[in-house]
Structure 1
Amino acid sequence: MSNRVDVAVMIGSGVPKGLRATGQKACWVVLVNGEQRGTAFSSRMEAEECRAAWLAQLSAGACAMQARAQRA
């Protein structure tokens, strides 16, 4: 199964209250197969780091599943 991991921007009222309270007018979130995972980030760079971690985790899981299938 192929997983899609994206970074999306949220603006205005889509920004969580805590970030809006600090003056943040935009934030970035990580989407895995279209669903938000984790928190909203105040910078795109933070969200991209989280995206990379998700990709690594999903890749490792896929490799483990493939190895199990080959042993069966």
Structure 2
Amino acid sequence: MNSRVDVAVMIGTGVPQSMQASGNRVCWVVLVDGERRGTAFASRAEALECQAAWLAQLGRCSAA
């Protein structure tokens, strides 16, 4: 079975309190088969790096 690895954006109250306290109103998270994995990221680039790591771990080269 192939797992799906996505990057999703969270806005407003979906952003963790620690990030909101720093002034962030948006963050990105990695979802594996629809479940959040790991931490929230302040930049999309960081989340894409994490996505690539998950894909490598799952034996796939790049995002769909």
- TM-score, structure 2 normalization: 0.92
TM-score, reference length from structure 1: 0.82
- Corresponding residue for residue 23 of structure 2: 23
Report the CA distance between 1:37 and its aligned residue: 0.2
RMSD of aligned alpha carbons: 0.9
- Residue 47 of structure 2 corresponds to which residue in structure 1? 47
More helix, by proportion: 1
Aligned-pair identity (%): 68
Between structure 1 and structure 2, the one with the greater Rg is 1
Which ranges of 4 or more aligned residues in structure 1 deviate by more than 3 Å?
Answer: none
Gaps of 5+ in 1: 61-72
Residue in 2 that maps onto 1:35? 35
Number of residue pairs aligned between Structure 1 and Structure 2:
60
Q: Which residue of 2 aligns with 1:13?
A: 13
